A and B are shown apart, each in its own frame.
Chain A
Amino acid sequence: MSDFFSIKNLRASIEGNQILKGINLEVKPGEVHAIMGPNGSGKSTLSSVLAGREDYEVEADEVTFLGKDLLELAPEERAREGLFLAFQYPVEIPGVSNINFLKAAINAKRKHAGLDDITAKDFMAMVKEKQAMVELKSNLANRSVNEGFSGGEKKRNEIFQMAMLEPKLGILDETDSGLDIDALKIVSNGVNKLRGADRSFIVITHYQRLLDYIVPDFVHVLFEGRIVKSGGKELALELEEKGYDWIKEEVAIHN
C-alpha cells in the first residue's frame, strides 16, 4: 500500500442518510485522479469529508494521508499537513482581506513544519508570481475574501490560494462547473503548472470537458456512494459519449 494517500471502505452519512457506502481509493505521489459521477452520487460529500467538514458521521477502515490517520485530524491540521480543498462554492467573507488571511494560513503551515514566519518580501514576491499564474487581477488579491468576485474570479482565487499554500494533495470540487471555456483554460493551466512528481490531485467533476485540459492518470466513476468503475483517461471520453446511463445499467446487472 501507499503511505501517501489511501482510502479503504470510507462511509459517511448525514442525518441518518448514508451517502458514501464504502469508497476505496489509492493515490500515489504525482498522480491525478478524476472522480466523475452523476448528480447525487456523493462527489461533494467525498470532498467535504476529506477536508474535515463536521456535518457528517464518518467511518472507515482506513484513511491515511502521509502516514497519518486523516480522520483524526481537525480541518486546519489536514491543511497544515498538505491537503487543500478548492471549494465548489467558495464563501464570501466580508472584511477579511484575502492577503492577510493567506499570510496567516501560510504562517500557520510553516509553524506546523517548524519554520519561521515568511518574510514580507518573500510573501509579496510569491503573491505576485502566483496571481500572474492564474491571471488574477492584483486588486482582487487585496480585497476581502471572494467578496463581490464573479464566479470565475472565485474559482481562480481558489487556485491562487492553492498555489500559495503549495499542498501535497489538492482536491478540486467541481471547480469547472459554471465556468466558461476561457476561465476553464486559465484555471486548468494553473493546476497544470502545479503538477509535479510530489504533488497529487483529486479532480471531482460532473463534466468530461475539464479533463480535456487537466489530463488525468486515472478516472473513477462514483455512483450511489461507491466507486463502480475505474480506468484510464479514455473512460472519461466513453462517459462523455454514452452518458452515465450505461454505468447505471451495469451496476443494476451486477446487483
Chain B
Amino acid sequence: MNQKEIFVAQFDSIPAQFPIQGEARAAIHNGIDFPTTRDEKWKYTRVNSILESSFQSVESTLENVDSFKLDATWSYLVFVNGKFNQTISDDMPDGVSMTSLAACNGDVKKEMLSKLGSLIDFKKEAFPSLNTGYFEDGAFIKVRKNTKIEQNICILSITDGQGQAVNARNLIHVESGAEVKFVHQFEGLDNENSFTNSVCEIFVDENAHADYYLIESEGANTKAITNTNISQKRDSNFTIVTITKSGQLVRNNINMAITEPGCESNMMGIYFTDGNQHVDNQTYADHQDHGCNSNELYKGVMADRSTGVFNGKIMVHQAAQQTNAFQSNQNILLSDKATINTKPELEIYADDVKCSHGCTIGQLDEEAMFYLQSRGLGKEAAHRLLVQAFAQDVIDTIKIDSLRQSVEQFIESKFE
C-alpha cells in the first residue's frame, strides 16, 4: 500500500450510511491523489504531516460544554468527535428545523440527499472526498421561508482526544426571504495531533440574508482543513467571517457561487498566528450572473516563525455584467522570521464590471509606537492598540455583539 492507501484505510472501518459515501470512497481509493506543493492551490501548504499521521476514534466522556460557549444565550448544536450529542444540545428556535444527518428519515432524508455533495466536487478533490466518504454525522439545518430568526445558532464542533480525526459535515438551507446568523465554532481539547476535515454546504435562496461566522479555536497541535461552499440565488445576501484563533495547520477553502442577479456577498477574515503556526485562506468568488457585489477583506498579523497564505480569486463570467467585486488582503509581520504568501487573482470575461484587488505587507508603524509610548502606554499596550486598530474594520463586520466582543478580547489576550 502506498501512503495514501495507508492513510485512507484508517477510515475504512467507519460504516457508509448513504450511497454518496460509497461513490466518494471509490473515488478516493481509485483515483484522487492528495494535493502536494506542486499543485498551484497548495503551493505553500504541505499536508504530509496529516497523511503521515495515524488516527483513531476516541470515545469522549465530555458531558458539559458550557466552558466553550462564547455566549450561553445562543442555541447550540453540539458535535463531539463528529457525532451529534442531543443531550447537551439546545432546541432550535421557531422557524428552524434541524435533523442530524445520521438520523434523517423519509422525506427529510430525500431532501438532504438531493443537496448533499451538490456544491462540492467530491470526486475530484481529495479532502472533500475523504469527508464525503467517511463523515459519521452532521447537521442538516433548514430555515423556514420569510422568517427572521432572532436567536443565533451555533454549531459547536469539539474534538476531544489524542489522534482524533473528525470529518465534520454540515448542510444549511436558508429558504427564500429568511434571515439568520450562524456561528460555526471548532474547539479542540487534549487533542495532540488531531485532525479536522470539515465540509459545510450552504444554500441561500432568493432574497434570503445569512451570516456565517467560522470561529477556529483548534488545539495547538491540530491540523484543520475546512471547506465552505455556498450557493446564492437572486437578491440574496451572504456574509462569511473567518476568525482563526489557533491550530497548528489551518487551511480554509471558501467557494462562493453567486449564481443569480442582485446578490451581495462578503468574505472577511482575521488570522493571528504565532509559534510555528501555518494558516492558509483560499477564497473563490464566482460571479456567474449580472448585477452582483462581492466584497472581500482579510487581515493577518503574524508573529514568531509563523506562516500565512492568502489566495483569493474573483471570477467574473461573461454573463456577469455590472459586477462590483473588491478584494483586499493586508498583513502585518511582527517578526523577521514570519512569512506571508499572498496572491490576489482576477479573471474577467465580462466588459462592464468594476473589480479591484490588492495586498499589503508591512510592520507596525514605529512612529505610531513611539507616539503612544511617549504618552505613557507600555510597549504591549501600544502594540495591542495598533493591532486592534488594524483589525477593527474586519471586526466591525461581525453583527453579533457578544461575538464581536469575544474577538476583541481574543486580540487583547494575544498581547498580555
Does A pair with B? Answer: yes
A105 lies within 8 A of chain B by Cβ:
yes
B389 lies within 8 A of chain A by Cβ:
yes
Q: In the complex, are the beta carbons of B371 and A91 less than 8 A apart?
A: yes
Q: In the complex, are the beta carbons of B370 and A95 less than 8 A apart?
A: no
Q: In the complex, are the beta carbons of A53 and B371 less than 8 A apart?
A: no
Chain A residues closer than 8 Å to B382, beta-carbon distance? 76
Q: In the complex, are the beta carbons of B392 and A161 less than 8 A apart?
A: no
Residue of B nearest to A79 (CB): B376
Residue of A nearest to B391 (CB): A95
Q: Which of A78, A93, A104, A165 contacts B389 (CB 8 A)?
A: A93
Bound-state CA distance A78–B381 (Å) is 16
Q: In the complex, are the beta carbons of A165 and B376 less than 8 A apart?
A: yes
Q: In the complex, are the beta carbons of B389 and A76 less than 8 A apart?
A: no
Q: Which of B375, B379, B381 contacts A165 (CB 8 A)?
A: B375
Bound-state CA distance A109–B370 (Å) is 16
In this complex, the member of B367, B376, B393 whose beta carbon has the largest number of chain A beta carbons within 10 angstroms is B376
A96 lies within 8 A of chain B by Cβ:
yes
Bound-state CA distance A101–B377 (Å) is 9
Q: In the complex, are the beta carbons of A53 and B370 less than 8 A apart?
A: yes
CB within 8 Å of B: which of A60-107?
74-76, 78-80, 84-85, 87, 90-91, 93-96, 100-102, 104-106
Q: In the complex, are the beta carbons of A76 and B371 less than 8 A apart?
A: no
Chain B 357-383: CB-based contact to A (< 8 A → 1; otherwise 0): 000000001011011111111110110
Q: In the complex, are the beta carbons of A101 and B367 less than 8 A apart?
A: no
Bound-state CA distance A93–B365 (Å) is 9
Residue of B nearest to A106 (CB): B376
B386 lies within 8 A of chain A by Cβ:
yes
Q: In the complex, are the beta carbons of B374 and A104 less than 8 A apart?
A: no
Residue of A nearest to B382 (CB): A76
B350 lies within 8 A of chain A by Cβ:
no
Report if A96-B386 is in contact (Cβ < 8 Å); known contacts: A76-B379, A91-B367, A104-B381. Answer: yes
Q: In the complex, are the beta carbons of B377 and A105 less than 8 A apart?
A: yes
Bound-state CA distance A94–B390 (Å) is 8
Q: In the complex, are the beta carbons of A75 and B381 less than 8 A apart?
A: no
B50 lies within 8 A of chain A by Cβ:
no
Q: In the complex, are the beta carbons of B381 and A52 less than 8 A apart?
A: no
Chain B residues closer than 8 Å to A179, beta-carbon distance? none
CB within 8 Å of A: which of B300-339?
none
B295 lies within 8 A of chain A by Cβ:
no
A51 lies within 8 A of chain B by Cβ:
yes
Report if A95-B373 is in contact (Cβ < 8 Å); known contacts: A76-B378, A104-B381, A108-B381. Answer: no
Bound-state CA distance A108–B375 (Å) is 9
B388 lies within 8 A of chain A by Cβ:
yes
Residue of B nearest to A87 (CB): B371
Q: In the complex, are the beta carbons of A90 and B376 less than 8 A apart?
A: no
Q: In the complex, are the beta carbons of B378 and A90 less than 8 A apart?
A: no
Residue of A nearest to B390 (CB): A95
Bound-state CA distance A84–B374 (Å) is 7
Chain B residues closer than 8 Å to A109, beta-carbon distance? 376
The number of residues on chain A lying at the interface, defined by a beta carbon within 8 Å of a beta carbon of chain B, is 32
Nearest Cβ in chain A — how far from B364, in angstroms? Answer: 11
Report if A91-B388 is in contact (Cβ < 8 Å); known contacts: A74-B373, A109-B376, A161-B375. Answer: no
Q: In the complex, are the beta carbons of B374 and A79 less than 8 A apart?
A: yes
Residue of B nearest to A144 (CB): B389
Chain B residues closer than 8 Å to A87, beta-carbon distance? 371, 374
Bound-state CA distance A87–B373 (Å) is 13
B385 lies within 8 A of chain A by Cβ:
yes
Q: Which of B367, B374, B385 contacts A75 (CB 8 A)?
A: B374
Q: In the complex, are the beta carbons of A91 and B368 less than 8 A apart?
A: yes
Bound-state CA distance A87–B390 (Å) is 23
Bound-state CA distance A112–B388 (Å) is 24
Chain A residues closer than 8 Å to B376, beta-carbon distance? 76, 79-80, 105-106, 108-109, 112, 165
In this complex, the member of B372, B374, B375, B381 whose beta carbon has the largest number of chain A beta carbons within 10 angstroms is B375
CB within 8 Å of B: which of A170-198?
none
Chain A residues closer than 8 Å to B367, beta-carbon distance? 91
Q: In the complex, are the beta carbons of A94 and B371 less than 8 A apart?
A: no
Q: In the complex, are the beta carbons of B374 and A95 less than 8 A apart?
A: no
Residue of B nearest to A107 (CB): B376
Chain A residues closer than 8 Å to B373, beta-carbon distance? 52, 74-76, 79
Chain B residues closer than 8 Å to A144, beta-carbon distance? 389
Nearest Cβ in chain B — how far from A112, in angstroms? Answer: 8
Nearest Cβ in chain B — how far from A127, in angstroms? Answer: 15
Chain A 189-231: CB-based contact to B (< 8 A → 1; otherwise 0): 0000000000000000000000000000000000000000000
CB within 8 Å of B: which of A102-160?
102, 104-106, 108-109, 112, 144-145
Bound-state CA distance A171–B314 (Å) is 52
Nearest Cβ in chain B — how far from A90, in angstroms? Answer: 7
Q: In the complex, are the beta carbons of B389 and A52 less than 8 A apart?
A: no
Q: Which of B372, B374, B378, B379 contacts A93 (CB 8 A)?
A: B372
Nearest Cβ in chain A — how far from B383, in angstroms? Answer: 12
Chain A residues closer than 8 Å to B389, beta-carbon distance? 93-96, 144
Bound-state CA distance A106–B374 (Å) is 12
Nearest Cβ in chain B — how far from A175, in angstroms? Answer: 15
Residue of B nearest to A90 (CB): B371
Chain A residues closer than 8 Å to B388, beta-carbon distance? 95-96
Q: In the complex, are the beta carbons of B375 and A101 less than 8 A apart?
A: yes
Q: In the complex, are the beta carbons of B377 and A76 less than 8 A apart?
A: yes
Q: In the complex, are the beta carbons of A104 and B379 less than 8 A apart?
A: no
Chain A residues closer than 8 Å to B371, beta-carbon distance? 87, 90-91, 93, 145
List A residues at the B interface (Cβ < 8 Å). 51-54, 74-76, 78-80, 84-85, 87, 90-91, 93-96, 100-102, 104-106, 108-109, 112, 144-145, 161, 165
Show 14 A/B contacts (Cβ-Cβ < 8 Å), sorted by A: A75-B373, A76-B374, A76-B376, A76-B382, A87-B371, A95-B389, A95-B392, A95-B393, A96-B386, A102-B375, A105-B372, A105-B376, A145-B371, A161-B375
Other A-B pairs, 8, CB within 8 Å; known A93-B372, A108-B376? A76-B382, A84-B375, A91-B365, A91-B368, A93-B386, A96-B368, A106-B376, A108-B377
Task: Please give me the 5 A-B residue pairs with the lowest Cβ-Cβ distance, nearest first.
Answer: A95-B389, A79-B376, A105-B375, A75-B373, A108-B376
List B residues at the A interface (Cβ < 8 Å). 365, 367-368, 370-379, 381-382, 385-386, 388-390, 392-393
